[in-house]
């Protein structure tokens, strides 16, 4: 059972640009609880990423499920994108039962802050780059269906 209820389309919260998280005003315990809850919700729903707007919080925070474990990214900014792009299938917990092909940069570099406020630089490629771009789009009020081609509904067997 997810910790947080995931908001689905057409909820207008998913279309708002999120505000930067201010480390001076948020309490560390509150932030840790929020990140922990996002991770638990993501894992409980078999997600590979989850952004705060998907639970109704318009702040620049997302969690990513990486092979080394899940982690939070706060105020992420893509600083470099490869010229090369590739098509890949995407779905989204906020757009249930819908899948589509989305063209994304093969490699990206981003900076973000961890839950202690430390600035981190991350280079990603392949699936990790795709997930990061998808979640950062959520923080900008963009859904994968805005960029997708060959949109299909999941067929229940």
Listed residue (107, 106, 98) closest to 148, CA to CA: 98
Active site residue 135: yes
Question: Which residues make Cβ contacts (< 8 Å) with residue 36, sequence separation at least 6?
Answer: none
CA distance 50 to 150: 23
Residues 125-156 as b/e (b if ≥16 CB within 10 A, e otherwise) read: eeebbbbbbbbbbbbebbbbbebbeeeeeeee
- Given the residues 90, 135, 152, 154, select the one marked as catalytic: 135
| No. of helices (H) and no. of strands (E), the chain | 2, 8
In sequence order, the β-bridge partners of residue 70 are 65
| Catalytic residue positions, numbered | 135
């Amino acid at each position: 059972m997810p910790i947080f209820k995931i908001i689905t389309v057409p909820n207008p919260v998913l279309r708002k640009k999120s505000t930067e998280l201010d480390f001076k005003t948020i309490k560390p315990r509150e932030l840790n609880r929020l990140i922990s809850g996002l991770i638990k919700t993501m894992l409980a729903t078999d997600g590979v990423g989850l952004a705060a707007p998907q639970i109704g919080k318009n702040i620049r925070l997302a969690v990513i499920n990486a092979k080394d474990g899940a982690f939070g990214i706060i105020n992420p900014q893509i600083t470099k994108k490869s010229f090369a792009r590739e098509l890949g299938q995407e779905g989204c917990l906020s757009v249930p039962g819908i899948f589509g092909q989305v063209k994304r940069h093969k490699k990206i570099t981003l900076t973000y802050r961890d839950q202690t406020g430390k600035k981190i630089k991350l280079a990603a490629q392949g699936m990790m780059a795709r997930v990061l771009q998808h979640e950062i789009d959520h923080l900008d009020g963009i859904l994968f269906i805005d960029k997708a081609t060959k949109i299909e509904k999941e067929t229940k067997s």
